[in-house]
Amino acid sequence: MAAVPKVAVIGLGIWGKNHALSYADYDRCELALVCDADQERAREVGENLGVPWTGDPADVAASDVDGVSIATPDHLHTAVTIEMLNAGKNVFVEKPLATSVDDARRLAVAAAESGRIAIVDFQNRWNPAFMGIKDSVANGELGAPVMGYARLSDSIAVAESWLSWAGRSGPEWFLFPHTIDIARWILGQEPVSVYALGKRGILASRGIDCWDAIQALVQFESCFFTFETSWVVPAGSPSVVDSRFVLYGESGKIDYDWTYNGLTYVRDRLEYPWIPIGTRDRYGHLTHFVYEPMRHFADCLAGTAVPETSFDDGLRNVVVIDAIRRSLDEKRPIELA
């Protein structure tokens, strides 16, 4: 691998632009090429960051880049990832790995057969709060885990205005990957069964064919978690994100209000602003933890780090979400093999 690996980004939407910015900012890699099906968007990002751009993933496959960061819409991860692996590229793929178990399994097999680095972006493993929670559990500070609750929901604006492909995904594919992975990671346990309830109708009435809200009870090996997600948080909510993580142990409890970052703005309305993402601080740095997984990928390409997450992690995540969807459809608990 090159001492300074070359990286390309495919998919330059809201989040993909942050992929490109991360690599352009990191001195341990070179952002060498950006790609998006919307050629005007590709041109804009490429010119802004001073790198070549293209509208065709085949150009990326034929290039001399060492790694490819894939941030296409959820349902479009599979084909382009297979194309890059077949071209001998190392890959970093946004969560979810895929939106079906069959596709996720194909990707896991393809990655294993390729022998290439293959990472899924479960970014909250770099969130300092969750790292602290994991350490507390591992050190026995709470005693054995008993019960947990994880909510991650978005303002209805995300489905209505942010994502043109919202109807091809849903809150279960867009948001559950975060909370299910972080619970599995913190607990060090695998899910064994799920039972889910959900509601449809609000988004469907607005032309977006997906679930409005879901709650899923997931039994892990020795404790249980309730996972909650929705895309119908009112637009007037002070934060675009509504999130909380609670874990009870035999001798302690952790409660992380993920919605409120400690900063409140009051003008014509109350707001809990995000810590700025996609912008530099006053000293010119990108300081948010969400950039760390991309930097980690670059470090793996350079041989100075070992992948934190794998396509096997991505597959296990998809298996749980697929079981939740089956439970919703079949109105019964689903056992996981």
Mean pLDDT of 63-70: 98
What are 153-192's pLDDT values in tens digits? 999 999 999 999 999 999 999 999 999 999 999 999 999 9
The answer to whether residue 169 is domain-embedded is yes
What are 17-46's pLDDT values in tens digits? 999 999 999 999 999 999 999 999 999 999
Mean pLDDT of 265-290: 84
The answer to whether residue 203 is domain-embedded is yes
What is the predicted pLDDT for the residue at 2?
Answer: 53
Other Cβ atoms closer than 10 A to 316: 19
Mean pLDDT of 293-301: 98
Please check whether residues 130 and 103 belong to one and the same domain: no
Measured in degrees and rounded to the nearest 5, phi and psi for residue 311 equal: -70, -25
Please check whether residues 256 and 218 belong to one and the same domain: yes
Q: What average pLDDT does the chain have?
A: 96
List residues bridging with 148 in a β-sheet. Answer: 225, 247
Mean pLDDT of 125-149: 97
Please check whether residues 213 and 245 belong to one and the same domain: yes
Please check whether residues 135 and 69 belong to one and the same domain: no
What is the predicted pLDDT for the residue at 276?
Answer: 64
Cα–Cα dist 167/249, whole Å: 38
Please check whether residues 100 and 146 belong to one and the same domain: no
Mean pLDDT of 221-238: 96
Q: Which amino acid is at 205?
A: S
Q: Which residue has the higher pLDDT, 263 or 109?
A: 109
The answer to whether residue 245 is domain-embedded is yes
What is the predicted pLDDT for the residue at 284?
Answer: 84
We report the CATH number of the domain holding residue 159 as 3.30.360.10
Please check whether residues 183 and 89 belong to one and the same domain: no
Please check whether residues 262 and 291 belong to one and the same domain: no
Please check whether residues 171 and 274 belong to one and the same domain: yes
Please check whether residues 106 and 168 belong to one and the same domain: no
**Residue 269, C-beta contacts closer than 8 angstroms, at least 6 positions apart:** 236, 238
Mean pLDDT of 49-55: 98
pLDDT band at 260 (very low <50, low <70, confident <90, very high): confident
Please check whether residues 300 and 222 belong to one and the same domain: no
The answer to whether residue 172 is domain-embedded is yes
Q: Write out the residue range of the structural domain in which residue 112 sits.
A: 6-123+286-309
The answer to whether residue 173 is domain-embedded is yes
Please check whether residues 87 and 99 belong to one and the same domain: yes
225, pLDDT greater than 80: yes
The answer to whether residue 59 is domain-embedded is yes
Residue 43: strand, helix, or coil: helix
The answer to whether residue 115 is domain-embedded is yes
The answer to whether residue 1 is domain-embedded is no
What is the predicted pLDDT for the residue at 145?
Answer: 98
**Residue 164, C-beta contacts closer than 8 angstroms, at least 6 positions apart:** none
Please check whether residues 219 and 175 belong to one and the same domain: yes
What are 186-220's pLDDT values in tens digits? 999 999 999 999 999 999 999 999 999 999 999 99
Q: Which amino acid is at 235?
A: A
What is the predicted pLDDT for the residue at 104?
Answer: 98
What is the predicted pLDDT for the residue at 1?
Answer: 53
Total number of domains in the chain: 2
335, pLDDT greater than 70: yes
pTM attached to this predicted model: 0.95
